[in-house]
């Protein structure tokens, strides 16, 4: 399929590049680092080769969220957003961007969100899970009441929020002690991100802000598969949960799901069957995944032309109001 739009497509700046190094063997790193730093030729060549019209760019992980000093987190977020805006300005037909946000300081996060959307033209925000604040052992999830003004602001702006994975805190990964191969994208990313999302769902966030648009990658970080059971058990024993409605209903109304790093047709159909093809969007997870793997899988995926056009392109145009495409 030609004209695909991808929306989990990462870049790095020198200040955040090192965060990705641990995920790659030494011999692969030079090729990978050249790809993630590039916002021009390498990227566009791959997009052209595999039928991608546009990438919606976002910073690598954990980047800003792991910078304990709030002032430096603000500095790096702004620098990354400026670099991304420059790339978008050079190639507006090929790129848009998600803002990186310094969630360590709520007021600054709101200010940067505003600047990124109103001045830089960002089409949403992408945050890499919880943020570390002050020191490495102090961290805050986004259901903390301190973030209420942030959620109000992003709802008012009407732009989507993308919850992207990061590694869980070491104190939360005892279940994989002695199994380092399960750390990161192989397993713990998904557990961490699904759990963070459940915290938000259960907190009543979507009762207070019914207009929020919330995106999950990796076909929903297992939640489309699991949510029926989670809801079924909560309904039997509510234990004071603040959310007023069944969790599934918020997901149906407020959530979108991308194919990033999950190039598996039965998993795709599970997400479509739960939430419909109008809520699923194409993404690769560049350069952690190969554009060729994502595109060749999606192009050959057994589904009707209409669904393929929705997922590959039209849903993104509608969600991000991509005028002129
Ligand atoms: Zn990613």
Kindly report, residue by residue over 281-290, the tens digit of the pLDDT: 999 999 999 9
CA of 8 to the centre of ligand 1 (A): 6
Question: Which 8-state DSSP code applies to residue 312?
Answer: I
Confidence of residue 39 (pLDDT cuts 50, 70, 90): very high
Q: What is the pLDDT of residue 294?
A: 98
CB within 8 Å of 285: residues ≥ 6 apart: 8, 9, 10, 217, 218, 260, 261, 294
Question: Residue 254: its pLDDT value, please?
Answer: 98
Compute the mean pLDDT over every residue in the chain, rounded to the nearest whole number: 97
Longest CA–CA span in the chain (Å) reads 55
Whole-number percent of the chain with pLDDT over 90: 97
* Cis before 287? omega within 30: yes
pLDDT(23) > 90? no
Lowest-confidence segment of 53-62, 152-161, 163-172 by average pLDDT: 163-172
Rounded to the nearest 10 degrees, the angle between the axes of helix 188-202 and helix 247-254 is: 100
pLDDT of residue 24: 87
Average pLDDT over residues 135-146: 97
Neighbour order of strands in the sheet with 214-216? 4-11, 52-59, 95-99, 124-127, 161-163, 214-216, 255-258, 280-281
- Domain ranges for the chain: 4-165+206-221+254-320
Confidence at residue 86, expressed as pLDDT on a 0 to 100 scale: 97
For residue 237, how far is its CA from the centre of ligand 1 (angstroms)? 35
| pLDDT 10s digits, 234-254 | 999 999 999 999 999 999 999
Closest CA to 58 of 320, 275, 298: 320
Q: CA-CA distance, 130 to 229, in Å (whole number)?
A: 25
- Averaged pLDDT for residues 72-86: 98
pLDDT score recorded for residue 170: 87
Cα(244) to ligand 1 centroid in Å equals 31
C-alpha 22 to ligand 1 mean position (Å):
15
* Residues belonging to the active site: 285
Q: How many CB atoms lie within 10 A of CB 270?
A: 16
pLDDT in tens, 172-197: 889 999 999 999 999 999 999 999 99
- Whether the per-residue pLDDT at 324 is higher than 80: the answer is no
CA of 217 to the centre of ligand 1 (A): 7
pLDDT at 173: 87
**What is the C-alpha to C-alpha distance for residues 227 and 190, in angstroms, rounded to an integer?**
14
Element (H or E) spanning 318, and its range? helix 315-320
User: How many angstroms is it from 156 CA to the middle of ligand 1?
Assistant: 26
Higher pLDDT, residue 52 or 171? 52
* Non-local CB neighbours of 317 within 8 Å, separated by 6+ positions: 5, 325
> What residues are neighbours of ligand 1 (ion), with CB under 5 Å?
8, 285
Res. 323: pLDDT tops 90 = no
Task: Give residues with Cβ within 8 angstroms of 44, minimum separation 6.
Answer: 91, 94
CA of 93 from ligand 1 middle (Å) equals 22
Q: Report how far ligand 1's centroid is from the alpha carbon of 289 (Å).
A: 9
9 CA to centre of ligand 1 in angstroms: 7
From the list 48, 43, 54, the residue with the least C-alpha distance to 4 is 54
pLDDT band for position 74 (50/70/90)? very high
Residues 96-106 have a mean pLDDT of: 98
Task: Summarize the confidence of residues 300-311 as an average pLDDT.
Answer: 96
* Structure tokens belonging to residue 187: 């397993």
Residue 325 has pLDDT above 90, yes or no: no
What's the CATH number for 4-165+206-221+254-320?
3.20.20.140
pLDDT score, position 268 = 98
pLDDT tens digits for range 208-234: 999 999 999 999 999 999 999 999 999
Say what the pLDDT of residue 215 is: 98
Assess whether pLDDT exceeds 90 at residue 129.
yes
Q: Which two tokens stand for residue 121?
A: 């033209």
């Amino acid at each position: 399929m030609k004209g695909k739009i991808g929306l989990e497509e990462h870049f790095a700046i020198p200040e955040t590049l090192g965060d990705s190094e641990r995920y790659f063997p030494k011999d692969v790193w030079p090729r990978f680092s050249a790809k993630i730093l590039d916002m021009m030729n390498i990227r566009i060549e791959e997009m052209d080769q595999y039928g991608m019209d546009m990438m919606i760019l976002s910073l690598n992980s954990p980047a800003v969220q792991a910078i304990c000093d709030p002032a430096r987190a603000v500095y790096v977020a702004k620098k990354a957003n400026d670099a991304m805006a420059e790339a978008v300005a050079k190639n507006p037909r090929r790129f848009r961007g998600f803002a990186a946000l310094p969630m360590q300081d709520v007021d600054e996060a709101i200010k940067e969100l505003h600047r990124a959307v109103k001045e830089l033209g960002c089409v949403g925000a992408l945050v890499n899970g919880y943020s570390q604040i002050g020191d490495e052992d102090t961290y805050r999830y986004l259901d903390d009441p301190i973030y209420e003004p942030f959620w109000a602001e992003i709802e008012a702006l009407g732009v989507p929020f993308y919850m992207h994975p990061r590694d869980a805190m070491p104190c939360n990964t005892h279940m994989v002690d002695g199994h380092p191969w399960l750390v990161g994208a192989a397993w713990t990313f998904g557990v961490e991100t699904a759990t963070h999302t459940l915290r938000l769902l259960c907190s009543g966030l979507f009762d207070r802000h019914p207009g929020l648009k919330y995106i999950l990658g990796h076909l929903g970080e297992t939640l489309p598969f699991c949510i029926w059971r989670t809801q079924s058990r909560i309904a039997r024993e509510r234990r004071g949960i603040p959310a007023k409605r069944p969790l599934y209903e918020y997901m149906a109304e407020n959530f979108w799901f991308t194919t990033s790093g999950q190039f598996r047709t039965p998993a795709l159909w599970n997400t479509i069957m739960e939430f419909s093809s109008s809520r699923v969007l194409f993404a690769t997870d560049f350069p952690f995944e190969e554009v060729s793997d994502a595109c060749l899988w999606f192009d050959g995926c057994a589904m009707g032309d209409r669904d393929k056009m929705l997922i590959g392109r039209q849903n993104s145009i509608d969600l991000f109001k991509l005028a002129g495409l």
